[in-house]
Structure 1
């Protein structure tokens, strides 16, 4: 019998024999573990092990939760989630926090689901990176609250601990707004339902990161506030009306009243996320960055504000810095997508802004090395491997566990740099032990085309690649072969009945 759980522990020392008592008492040795003890008691009963005196599962507060103590690879601190499990007649779990207890108890449940027993021995694990996330574009396509909570439960089961909730897009705004009800799509999540989702996420030790993209990706919002749109760009080779570059999705960041509107939009949504500590403000695909000089409103404003060498990138960076400061005023860590960042000459990007690094598809986009040199923290959202784009839009193909294993992906492996010919040319990689700048990684669901898949088909499609990311993110790679991972994943999933 093997240790049948995902993510796999870093250290596994089995002694022979199995643990599956006729009944069990789960005991929180420290008060902070009471919720996890209660949860596990119910979950064991659902697997046919009722409460009783035949054995005990003891949740102990650990004195040392460092990666070294738990046997994790690398050298990145992982406070709270490290665990050690000893399985004999009783089960002893040692960890520093309730989140660590939750991770450890999933290990027991996976074994019981996969093989109806837990091997005796000792195991230990800790994550190679602090964040293992899932991003959901719930703006272009409506995902019911029940679907989102089920997705969170499935993701938490394999160690995902961040949910980036992208609720605003060009095609929809799908969270109830108190201050701007006119921008909200007909199908949307109410504040009451959002409150339930947020509390469920908190109970599952998942940090919710609101994603309200600006100053681009705002067509739905700006349709109701057209006076705040950026003036169109022009094609210098075709200055006639047919050569106008549309900006109906872009906020006019050259005007103070538009920037103030952006702040008020954020202020309206902040109360929906009372436990959040992070916020992704976007900053991506604001205009066609490769031709930013073709937007006269940006060029003129940049020259007026920053001198003859000022560009639209300086304006964009200044806007991001201003919104980042506003978010910090709410106690939120600001995050942005990487594609338009680090490209300004006159205005440095606030070093506290975290870069969610999704692509280097254009040669003008700056490399990861520049972000590291500037001291920016990073979240790896490798679009080549982890972009689940509905309809396989824009040339994307659905992620698979096979592709993730073939790439030998780990949290430090970013998308490759592309050259001027549109081909990947340079590998971008941070090796272990990881720098403190590498916060983690994320899988991303993008609903570019809502029709090709139902929400249930999306759930089925993301399951294997998300779990593949979770295994390799936790361990900084994996000791499992692809076939071993696939068999283990199937055993755990089949027994769960999901």
Structure 2
């Protein structure tokens, strides 16, 4: 068996596809794409045929026709669903390339879409250009691929609260996620430093909460007398029309957006807009520095209703199943001093402030469940008792994920040790952009296995997958996001898609060297290998 595996690894070493397909068998010859090539589809795949035409036209100049069939002898790319391929699941596919035709078959449209991403990577990297390229032979090596993902949740996260990211960049990041067969986009939309989503019922959330007067410069030292600020207002937000546009863009690429509305902590921007949400009654500004803020939401009925009203508008914009409510880093200092919070603890018969946060989260869980949605929270939501239907996102290591999975809850693994792309990529930090800290090199990302060894098989099925985090305290603009996320996101994509026995880091590095040529054409400011 080991000899057969070694042979397979050798045979497909000339195919620079990321993530690596589950099964790939090279064949003799090539398929040549020309202006006479026809794309054929069934009705269910017609939109994908049009998408492939749009992918291929700019660089080749070939506006390929999409038809239900092609005449005999005409080179064709055939895209069809096949109900006999149920064993490949919702996202699996078969891709067969011969001299005469390219055949794509999948059980569901998502699988056919991922076959298109593989096909794009089999073409020369110039195929990603948005203008005609001359002197390139548009050939695809003959190959037979059968492929399906290891995990259902393959995610990318973006913090747009600490530093606002433009709509067009969000769409670019979704495109890049889809190219790497990632299917979740976790959009962190609110925090102490900014509220980024328009809520019609509460206009001050963006009129006030979306703007901070200045931003901390450099690292936040323990000595506050050394802090320097840039004196420049920073902000921005996405209108509801912007969000509808981005959601539609993602849906067309089989990416589900998971919005995050932080509560009860990381909420100073909301409290700045509506001081009655706080515990002190004081007017506070949108926060201008980083770290964990003492200002958290109060646990009153009015605040619960406020957050549920916000979530109602969020659900109207995001049709996906999952709504993230944060739940992390909520200091209880103000609750300990609050007569309202202490009275609520007594009236509810709770033990402490952790149980009060659990009660708060349960109100959101009940509300979302009643609307057919699923609550997601960072692993602090385990403290004080876990809401019945919650999905836990384990970021403080893997223990939270283990506890939740053993309790029968679904888990998304997001440990800082392997998935925090805001950490340094090199130990030589003096030659890297300023980062929050940590050290996460490419090989460490690739070595990660989201399923903790401590879980039994029936517990491990609750591990939905994992995702890469891009927190933006020290990442001020899109180009820096790209530098921090790539190529580490390429490595994580392979972790989440490729069977464990097919992973091979030296081979990944070889394929990545070719893949970076594609990212260069796509104007991705990736960190060069070996730098």
| TM-score bucket of the superposed structures, by smaller chain | 0.7 to 0.9
Q: Indicate the SS of the match to 1:140.
A: coil
Q: Does 1:82 align with 2:92?
A: yes
When the two structures are superposed, what TM-score results if normalisation uses the length of structure 1?
0.81
Cα distance in 2 for partners of 1:377, 1:484 equals 32
1:99 aligned residue: 110
1:56 aligned residue: 76
- Deviation at 1:263? 1.2
Q: Does 1:170 align with 2:192?
A: yes
Q: Does 1:38 align with 2:61?
A: no
Cα distance in 2 for partners of 1:478, 1:459 equals 29
- Deviation at 1:352? 1.5
Cα distance in 1 for partners of 2:84, 2:329 equals 44
Cα distance in 1 for partners of 2:54, 2:495 equals 29
Q: Indicate the SS of the match to 2:365.
A: helix
Q: Does 1:389 align with 2:429?
A: no
Q: Does 1:359 align with 2:396?
A: yes
- Deviation at 1:312? 1.2
Residue deviations 1:302-346 (CA, integer Å, cap 9, x gap): 651344x611121111111111111123332111110x23332xx
Cα distance in 1 for partners of 2:434, 2:486 equals 17
Equivalence map 1:156-235=2 (5 Å): 156-184=178-206, 185-186=210-211, 187-231=236-280
Cα distance in 2 for partners of 1:353, 1:146 equals 32
**C-alpha distance 455-260 of structure 1, shift in aligned 2 (>3 A):** same
Equivalence map 1:324-473=2 (5 Å): 324-338=365-379, 340-344=380-384, 348-360=385-397, 367-389=400-422, 395-397=437-439, 399-405=440-446, 408-413=447-452, 430=455, 435-450=460-475, 453-473=476-496
**C-alpha distance 178-293 of structure 1, shift in aligned 2 (>3 A):** closer
Cα distance in 2 for partners of 1:156, 1:480 equals 20
Residue deviations 1:340-367 (CA, integer Å, cap 9, x gap): 23332xxx42331100111149xxxx64
**C-alpha distance 341-158 of structure 1, shift in aligned 2 (>3 A):** same
Q: Indicate the SS of the match to 1:446.
A: coil
- Deviation at 1:466? 0.6
> Are the counterparts in 2 of residues 389 and 447 from structure 1 also a CA contact under 8 Å?
yes
> Are the counterparts in 1 of residues 15 and 511 from structure 2 also a CA contact under 8 Å?
no
> Are the counterparts in 2 of residues 113 and 492 from structure 1 also a CA contact under 8 Å?
no
- Deviation at 1:156? 0.6
Equivalence map 1:148-159=2 (5 Å): 148-159=170-181
The structure carrying a bigger strand percent of its residues is 1
2:528 aligned residue: none
Q: Does 1:300 align with 2:300?
A: no
> Are the counterparts in 1 of residues 405 and 463 from structure 2 also a CA contact under 8 Å?
no
- Deviation at 1:394? 5.1
Cα distance in 2 for partners of 1:142, 1:182 equals 17
Residue deviations 1:50-77 (CA, integer Å, cap 9, x gap): 33774111112122445xx44xxxxxxx
Equivalence map 1:482-497=2 (5 Å): 482-495=505-518, 497=521
When the two structures are superposed, what TM-score results if normalisation uses the length of structure 2?
0.77
Q: Report the number of matched residues.
A: 442
1:276 aligned residue: 320
Q: Does 1:125 align with 2:147?
A: yes
- Deviation at 1:478? 6.5
Q: Does 1:20 align with 2:42?
A: no
The gaps in structure 2 that reach 5 residues or longer are: 1-12, 127-137, 212-235, 282-291, 424-432, 523-531
Q: Does 1:251 align with 2:297?
A: yes
**C-alpha distance 287-31 of structure 1, shift in aligned 2 (>3 A):** same
- Deviation at 1:128? 0.6
**C-alpha distance 294-322 of structure 1, shift in aligned 2 (>3 A):** closer
**C-alpha distance 179-367 of structure 1, shift in aligned 2 (>3 A):** closer
Cα distance in 2 for partners of 1:13, 1:440 equals 27
Q: Indicate the SS of the match to 1:388.
A: coil
**C-alpha distance 432-16 of structure 1, shift in aligned 2 (>3 A):** farther
1:74 aligned residue: none
Cα distance in 2 for partners of 1:11, 1:360 equals 32
